Every structure is written in C-alpha cells, then in structure tokens.
Amino acid sequence: MKSPARKHYEQVTAAKAAGAATPGQQQQGEQYELHAAALYEATRTLKGIKSIQAKIEKKRELLPDFLPYIDGVLAEGNGAKDDVLMTMMVWCIDVSDFEKALEIGAYAVKHNIDTPDRYARDTVSILAEEIAEGVKSALAKEDPDADALANVMARTDAIVEGADMHDEIRAKLHKYHGYALRAAEDPEGALAQLKAALALDERIGVKQDIQKLESLIKKQGGQATA
C-alpha cells in the first residue's frame, strides 16, 4: 500500500513529465519507466491466471497502484505515446470503472493516442466495443443502475462521434445504449438507438426488441389520450 505522500509524489512527477513530453512521441520520465516495469510484472502475473474472473479481480487489486500516475498524465499530459495509460484504460473497463476509462478514453481520442499493438484494434474501436460489452454485463446483473449505464453509453458515443470504425462495432454501441435506455424506462430513446443499430448491422439482433418498443410506445400513447 502506497502512502499518501508517495501517491502525491508520483502524481506530481508524472504530470510534470507528461506536460514536458513531445506530442506523439514516446512518454519518458521516472514515473513512466517505473510504471512500465510494474505493468510488465503485472502482465506476467495475469498470464499465469487461467480464470477470467480471477484475472479481473487481480486487475482490480493492482489498478490502484497505477492511479496516481494516470491522474498525473490526465492532468498535464499533451498527447505522448503511453502504453501504461492505454493499458489502464482497458483494465478500467474490465473492472467496470467506466468513469476512469472514459476519462482516459477522452484524453486518448483528443490526442490520437494508439493502444499497444497487442490489442490489435485502434483506440476508438476498443473504447466503443469494450464499454458496450461492459454495460451489457452490468445490465445483466441484479438491480443495475440503468440511468448511470445509459449515461456511460451516451458519453462513450460522444467521445467516439465522427471517428472511423467498423459498422458492426458502432451498431453494438447503439444496441447497448438502447438497452440501457430501455432499462432506464426511456422507450423512445431506446427505440431510436436500436433503429440506429439495425441500420448499421442487419444481424445485430434487435428486430424483436424494436417491435416490442414500438408496441409499448403506441400503447402508452393510447393511454395518454384516453
């Protein structure tokens, strides 16, 4: 467990180095090197864990050690290449810390920062698809906070708006935005999102949900005028 003084030092020094870095070039500095080494060791540990759920729990355990560095970069960074930061974006999604993932994602998209090669997808595609999958899982849990999840999807959509990505990925983003709005009792908003998903991908699997929402909205309209 790091002391508050150590966390503060890491955040301040990371911020200073990130602010002095050249946009688009490799991030340098003491904190980057230390956290890159820590990430290497963490990755070795994760490779030795077979269970997906156990991997997620290990990431949840390790993630706080990287947060002062992340906060420092986000506070003062100007877009240097940073595999530590981008890996932490994915980790945050994995542990359902969507708030921090979106903070990193917004910074990365603004500065056009790529994800590490091992992810084999660009930043906007990973952010859109993995957030959608994370919200899908969250909606399947008992008593999800649907309003919060709908907000997560709206923010994700805003961050990646206008970015080039495969239609299937953007369709998935619309699909789970729609499902979150449906759970939040916004059928009109949900219908619009599901129709947008279907327009992008005929096989996205929302046709019956669209029909049900249209019937519900029609029924509610009839009750309102009765």
Question: Which pLDDT score is estimated for 226?
Answer: 37
Q: What percent of the chain has pLDDT over 90?
A: 92
Question: Which pLDDT score is estimated for 223?
Answer: 56
Claim to verify: residue 116 and residue 136 sit in the same structural domain: no
Neighbour tally for 153: CB within 10 Å: 24
Claim to verify: residue 184 and residue 219 sit in the same structural domain: yes
> Which residue, 120, 148, 165, sits at the end of a domain?
120
| Rounded Cα gap, residues 14 and 19, in angstroms | 8
Span 71-92, mean pLDDT?
Answer: 95
pLDDT band at 187 (very low <50, low <70, confident <90, very high): very high
Claim to verify: residue 50 and residue 134 sit in the same structural domain: no
Question: In the predicted model, is pLDDT for residue 105 greater than 80?
Answer: yes
23 and 80 Cβ atoms separated by less than 8 Å: yes
Q: Which residues contact 117 (CB under 8 A, 6 or more apart)?
A: none
Look up residue 81 and give its two tokens: 């290449």
Q: DSSP label at 81? A: B
Phi, psi dihedral angles at 26 (to 5 degrees): -65, 130
| Rounded Cα gap, residues 172 and 193, in angstroms | 10
Claim to verify: residue 92 and residue 17 sit in the same structural domain: yes
Q: What is the pLDDT of residues 22-38, one digit of tens each?
A: 999 999 999 999 999 99
Instruction: State pTM to two decimals.
Output: 0.90
pLDDT band at 75 (very low <50, low <70, confident <90, very high): very high
Domain containing residue 100: 1-120
Q: What is the pLDDT of residues 119-170, one digit of tens each?
A: 778 999 999 999 999 999 999 999 999 999 999 999 999 999 999 999 999 9
| Residue with token string 């090197």 | 33
Q: What's the chain's average pLDDT?
A: 93
Instruction: Give the domain CATH number at 187.
Output: 1.25.40
Look up residue 25 and give its two tokens: 């070039």
| Residue with token string 């729609």 | 178
Long-range Cβ contacts of 53-61 (<8 Å, 24+ apart): 55/94, 56/94, 56/95, 59/91, 59/94, 59/95, 60/95
Claim to verify: residue 17 and residue 114 sit in the same structural domain: yes
Question: In the predicted model, is pLDDT for residue 207 greater than 60?
Answer: yes
Claim to verify: residue 9 and residue 100 sit in the same structural domain: yes
User: Which ranges of the chain would DSSP assign to H, the alpha helix?
Assistant: 4-20, 30-47, 52-62, 67-76, 83-94, 98-111, 123-139, 146-160, 167-183, 187-200, 207-225
Span 73-93, mean pLDDT?
Answer: 95
The amino acid sitting at 133 is E
Helices (H) and strands (E) in the chain, counts: 11, 0
Claim to verify: residue 107 and residue 10 sit in the same structural domain: yes
| Rounded Cα gap, residues 226 and 223, in angstroms | 5
pLDDT band at 222 (very low <50, low <70, confident <90, very high): low
